[in-house]
């Protein structure tokens, strides 16, 4: 009996000896910052030496109250929710479907597609952000293509108008036709389009009709500028697209690796029993991976709420803060202008709090509807 | 045996002498700010190497960072109560510098550098009221004019235009330049601060004046004042007239010089600091604008007359960045003496001349000149000479929270057509009222 107690005591001692360093390290690198963050969020600390510097004190939940009234916080939260939705209901289903297509060899060259879809994951997100920012820029690739299409269209109309007029024959009717061809552009450029446009055209050398036509294309052609991407809500679309493009491959790999662990005989048996590919996917593979899906969803949610680098590199939350996320708001509160550390920490804690709620919800859903692996 | 002993003694002495010298050297931590990719970086590094070579009794420990990493690292040092001895800093509440000023973490340089030394600088540079701390926490290396209109004279002449005198002149350029695929002005505002700092502050200075800004801080007037709404409306007009394209709100700060130098914009509105960007990079021999054309084809002009302005010709300006000394250094210590020596070296005519030649800035130290200057650097003092009055740069005098979140963002909203000037003014006043309540 004594020997047993002694043995248990030794066992407990050995257990603590092995676990304690890790626990202490964990508390030091994770627990301590969390505690400090909680303290700062309810303090009036506004920079400088934290211990032994200017006095600061606990002032309560002022910053959390401020957040509740802060339109920037709600706008940023809404953008984060968009990312969560795209991640959970975009990346995961797409990743799953792509993985299934490759796993069941429904598409050819599975390895190739796997590599292509995973490729964005091996590129720095900063590089990806900058690359897509350039593509979506008013002087970027999309704008260039669209402007060439617009120019081509109006160039054709202008040529027809001058051909019908017999060359440099600038009548009121020709000017009216040019204005009509330009749509709203002429009235945006001139106060009195018929008079001002005619005056401008008449300053050109009649022998240089091609120069005039070229300039009229510049002057009257519509310009594709991505101003629609500056409107609240819509502005997030390119960001969401890039997020989907960037990380779907990660979940593809995750799901594919787990699908390969499923006993092939089960699937074969289902197929022999007459199950279609859709039924195999929905009733055999999907339930088998429910645990993986939940873990992937947790990764998705946590990643979405603290996503920062990609959006920061791509838009920096702008223009006019329409693509701001909670993490960018937190960063700005801490490091931009006069730092507001309590506010920044309150935002950080709200991210943690939201993550916890969403993860608990995910677990509940899995418990209620999930299958057994 | 004696020979071996002698050699061992020489060896020990040879090791001890430098160690003793090292031990006597005063350590001096210096946090400096420069973009390692910019033209003039090599010359800048040579400046500091010369200081190290000439001052072997000082162990200069330099930490060179740029942009946000600088502010974040300094913020961490401040929070840890471990700020470097000498710091590159801003005169206003710019990021990490805000706390240095607010908490008086830097020494007053006036007694340390002495009146004789400071008398060599232009008066606005040594004005303590120009600094957020209310004393000379850093010595501004330049006076920064935030609204300079860089004009492509040749491009204008080729299209039948001269330099504009009024806003109407600018507006008249729109159709013809647009026909040639050229925008009138580029003012990329994607980062949010450029419109406020490089144009709107001047507009406010001209239409309302510094007195109005002082009053708005105390609440005697409000941002909803029709005169302020009129200033915002002028910015709205520049977008509506097509003088500044709305797409510029989506462009990054770095996009502007490329558009201007490639002839896709007739003007760029930027700060005076940007002239150095167009000069020859000695490491590559390349210049964004060929020095041979800088003087003949380009001009630096004041923004033309604005309808309704009551202070014609006013341009927004602010004391520039510079070096400050940590208040944590004991008074009269060797470290303090070393820091003062470093500052006096940096602000010496020799070093300031190098900075001028590399186009880094136009020094606030009087009489600095050189015969090696590219035309753009020579043109900037002439531009200054044409300015009779200056006004506040708004982000230098207003609360950064109000300025960044409501004025800067509001100007972007106006540019994008998302909000009217009246709405932006109302939002700003609400934020300002909250700020006033905390004061």
* Fold (topology level) of B145-317+388-438: D-Maltodextrin-Binding Protein; domain 2 (3.40.190)
Contact across the interface for A337 and B404, Cβ inside 8 Å: yes
Is residue A242 located within the same domain as residue A213? Answer: no
pLDDT category, A363, cuts 50, 70, 90?
confident
- According to the model, what pLDDT value does residue B23 have? 57
Tell me: the pLDDT tens digits for B312-342? 999 999 999 999 999 999 999 999 999 999 9
Cα angle, residue B34 at apex, residues B32 and B36 outer, rounded to 5°: 125
- Judge if A74 and A119 occupy the same domain: yes
- Distance (Å) from the alpha carbon of A250 to chain B's nearest alpha carbon: 30
- Among residues B253, B289, B298, which one has the least CA distance to residue B154? B298
Angle B41-54/B334-346 helices, nearest 10 degrees? 140
Q: Is residue A34 part of a domain?
A: no
Decide which of A162, A187, A220 is a domain's last residue: A220
Whether residue A298 is found in the same domain as residue A162: no
Chain B residues near residue A138 by CB distance under 8 angstroms: 245, 247-248, 250-251
If you average pLDDT over each of A31-35, A54-58, A234-238, B257-261, which comes out highest? B257-261
Quick check: B233 and B336 in contact, CB under 8 A?
no
Q: Residue A306 and residue A326: Cα distance in Å, rounded? A: 8
Q: Which of A194, A220, A246 is the last residue of a domain?
A: A220
Q: Mean pLDDT, to the nearest integer, of A255-281?
A: 90
**β-bridge pairing B286-287 and B280-281:** antiparallel
Most confident of A14-28, A217-231, B147-161: B147-161
- List the single residue in A53, A138, A320 with the smallest CB-CB distance to B81: A53
Instruction: Determine the topology of domain B18-137+321-360 in CATH.
Output: D-Maltodextrin-Binding Protein; domain 2 (3.40.190)
CATH number at residue A94: 1.10.3720.10
Per-residue exposure over B266-298, b if at least 16 CB sit within 10 Å of its own CB, e if not: bbbbbbbbbbbbbbbbeeeeebbbeeeebeebb
- Segment A103-146, tens digit of pLDDT: 998 988 989 999 999 999 999 999 999 999 999 888 888 888 99
pLDDT recorded at residue B74: 87
Report if residue A196 sits inside a domain: yes
User: Are A237 and A327 part of one and the same domain?
Assistant: yes
Please compute the mean of the pLDDT values over residues A282-297 and round it to a whole number.
Answer: 88
Cα–Cα distance between A270 and A274 in angstroms, integer? Answer: 7
Do A201 and A264 share a domain, yes or no?
no
Between CA B357 and CA B352 the distance in angstroms is 9
Whether B109 and B136 have beta carbons less than 8 Å apart is answered as yes
Per-residue pLDDT at B19 exceeds 60:
no
CB pairs < 8 Å spanning A and B: 134
Alpha helices in B299-420 (DSSP H): 334-346, 349-357, 375-385, 394-397, 400-402, 409-416
HSE-CB at A162 with a 13 A cutoff on CA atoms is: 18
> Are both A262 and A345 inside the same structural domain?
yes
Helix axes B421-438, B210-218, angle to 10 degrees: 60
Q: Is a pLDDT exceeding 60 seen at residue B153?
A: yes
State phi, psi for A6 to the nearest 5 degrees: -60, -40
- For an interface test with A, the pick among B175, B241, B245, B328 (most A C-beta atoms closer than 10 Å) comes out as B175
The answer on A360 and A265 residing in a single domain is: yes
In this structure, the answer to whether residues A243 and A342 fall within a common structural domain is yes
Q: Percentage of residues in chain A with pLDDT exceeding 70?
A: 94
Same domain, A247 and A323: yes
Q: How many domains does chain A have?
A: 2
CB contact set of A284 (below 8 Å; sequence gap of 6+)? A262, A266, A267, A270, A275
pLDDT value at position B351?
Answer: 97
pLDDT digits (tens, 9 = 90+) for B55-75: 999 999 999 998 778 887 888
Q: Is residue A8 part of a domain?
A: no
Residues of A in contact with B417 (CB under 8 A): 227
Q: What are the CA-CA distances from residue B438 to residues A45, B96, B395, B399, B435 (Å)? A: 15, 21, 19, 11, 5
Tokens of A253: 């790999």
As beta bridge partners, residue B286 has B281
pLDDT in the model for residue B145: 93
Residue A354 domain boundaries: 62-138+229-369
A53 lies in a domain? Answer: no
| A323-354 residue pLDDT tens | 999 999 998 888 776 778 899 999 999 998 98
Q: B109 or A363: whose pLDDT is higher?
A: B109
Q: Does one domain contain both A178 and A282?
A: no
**One domain for residues A200 and A330:** no
Q: Where are the domains of chain B?
A: 18-137+321-360, 145-317+388-438
Averaged pLDDT for residues A18-35: 91
Residue among A54, A226, A335 minimizing CB distance to B68 = A335
What are A's interface residues with B at a Cβ cutoff of 8 A? 46-54, 72, 133, 137-139, 188-190, 196-197, 200, 215-216, 218-219, 223, 225-227, 229-232, 316, 318-321, 332, 334-340
Lowest mean pLDDT among A212-221, B22-31, B146-155: B22-31
Q: Kindly report the average pLDDT of chain A as a whole number.
A: 88
For range B143-169, the mean pLDDT: 96
Of the residues A220, A246, A264, the one at which a domain ends: A220
Say if the Cβ atoms of A54 and B251 lie within 8 Å.
Answer: no
A183 and A282 belong to one structural domain:
no
Q: Residue B251 is nearest to which of A138, A200, A216, comparing CB atoms?
A: A138
């Amino acid at each position: 009996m004594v020997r047993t107690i002694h043995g248990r005591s030794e066992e407990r001692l050995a257990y603590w000896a092995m676990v304690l360093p890790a626990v202490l390290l964990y508390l030091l690198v994770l627990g301590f910052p969390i505690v400090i963050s909680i303290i700062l969020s309810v303090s009036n600390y506004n920079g400088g030496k934290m211990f032994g510097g200017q006095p600061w004190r606990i002032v309560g939940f002022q910053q959390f109250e401020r957040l509740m009234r802060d339109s920037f916080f709600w706008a940023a939260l809404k953008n984060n929710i968009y990312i969560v939705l795209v991640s959970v209901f975009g990346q995961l289903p797409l990743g799953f479907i792509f993985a299934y297509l490759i796993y069941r060899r429904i598409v050819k060259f599975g390895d190739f597609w796997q590599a292509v879809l995973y490729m964005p994951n091996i590129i720095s997100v900063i590089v990806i952000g900058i690359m897509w920012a350039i593509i979506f820029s008013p002087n970027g690739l999309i704008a260039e293509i669209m402007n060439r299409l617009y120019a081509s269209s109006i160039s054709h109309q202008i040529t027809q108008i001058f051909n019908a007029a017999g060359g440099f024959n600038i009548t009121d009717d020709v000017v009216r036709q040019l204005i009509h061809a330009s749509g709203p552009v002429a009235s945006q450029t001139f106060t009195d389009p018929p008079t001002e446009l005619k005056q401008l055209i008449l300053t050109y050398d009649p022998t240089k009709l091609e120069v005039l036509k070229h300039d009229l294309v510049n002057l009257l052609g519509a310009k594709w500028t991505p101003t629609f991407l500056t409107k609240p809500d819509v502005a997030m679309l390119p960001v969401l697209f890039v997020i989907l493009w960037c990380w779907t491959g990660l979940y593809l790999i995750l799901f594919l690796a787990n699908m390969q662990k499923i006993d092939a005989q089960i699937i074969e048996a289902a197929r022999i029993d007459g199950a279609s590919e859709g039924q195999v996917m929905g009733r055999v593979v999907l339930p088998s991976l429910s645990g993986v899906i939940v873990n992937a969803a947790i990764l998705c949610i946590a990643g979405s709420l603290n996503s920062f680098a990609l959006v920061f590199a791509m838009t920096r939350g702008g223009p006019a803060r329409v693509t701001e996320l909670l993490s960018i708001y937190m960063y700005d509160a801490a490091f931009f202008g006069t730092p507001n550390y309590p506010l920044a920490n309150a935002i950080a804690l709200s991210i943690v709090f939201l993550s916890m709620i969403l993860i608990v919800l995910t677990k509940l859903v899995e418990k209620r509807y999930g299958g057994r692996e | 045996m004696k020979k071996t002993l002698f050699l061992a003694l020489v060896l020990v002495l040879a090791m001890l002498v430098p160690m003793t010298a090292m031990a006597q050297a005063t350590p001096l931590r210096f946090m400096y700010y420069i973009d390692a990719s910019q033209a003039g970086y090599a010359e800048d590094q040579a400046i500091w190497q010369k200081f190290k070579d000439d001052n072997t009794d000082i162990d200069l420990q330099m930490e060179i960072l740029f942009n946000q990493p600088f502010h974040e690292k300094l913020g961490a040092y401040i929070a840890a109560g471990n700020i470097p001895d000498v710091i590159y800093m801003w005169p206003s509440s710019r990021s990490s510098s805000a706390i240095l000023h607010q908490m008086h973490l830097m020494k007053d340089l006036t007694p340390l550098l002495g009146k004789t030394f400071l008398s060599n600088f232009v008066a606005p540079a040594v004005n303590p009221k120009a600094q957020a701390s209310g004393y000379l926490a850093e010595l501004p290396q330049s006076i920064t004019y935030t609204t300079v209109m860089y004009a492509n004279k040749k491009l204008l002449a080729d299209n039948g235009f001269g330099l504009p005198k009024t806003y109407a002149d600018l507006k008249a350029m729109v159709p013809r330049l647009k026909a040639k695929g050229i925008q009138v002005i580029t003012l990329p505002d994607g980062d949010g601060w450029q419109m406020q700092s490089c144009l709107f502050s001047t507009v406010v200075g001209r239409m309302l004046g510094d007195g109005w800004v002082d009053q708005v801080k105390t609440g005697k007037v409000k941002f909803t004042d029709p005169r302020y709404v009129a200033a915002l409306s002028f910015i709205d007009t520049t977008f509506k007239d097509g003088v500044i394209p709305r797409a510029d709100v989506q462009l990054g700060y770095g996009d502007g010089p490329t558009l201007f130098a490639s002839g896709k914009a007739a003007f760029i509105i930027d700060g005076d600091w940007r002239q150095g960007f167009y000069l020859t990079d000695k490491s590559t021999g390349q210049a964004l604008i060929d020095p041979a054309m800088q003087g003949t084809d380009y001009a630096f002009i004041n923004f033309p007359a604005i309808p309704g302005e009551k202070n014609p010709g006013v341009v927004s300006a602010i004391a520039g960045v510079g070096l400050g000394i940590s208040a944590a250094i004991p008074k009269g210590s060797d470290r303090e003496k070393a820091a003062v020596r470093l500052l006096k070296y940096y602000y010496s005519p020799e070093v300031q001349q190098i900075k001028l030649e590399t186009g880094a800035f136009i020094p606030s130290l009087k009489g600095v000149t050189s015969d090696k200057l590219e035309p753009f650097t020579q043109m900037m003092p002439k531009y200054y000479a044409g300015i009779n009055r200056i006004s506040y740069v708004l982000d230098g005098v207003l609360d950064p929270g109000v300025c960044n979140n409501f004025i800067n963002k509001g100007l972007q909203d106006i540019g994008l057509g998302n909000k009217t000037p009246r709405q932006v003014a109302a939002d700003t006043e609400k934020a300002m009222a909250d700020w006033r309540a905390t004061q």
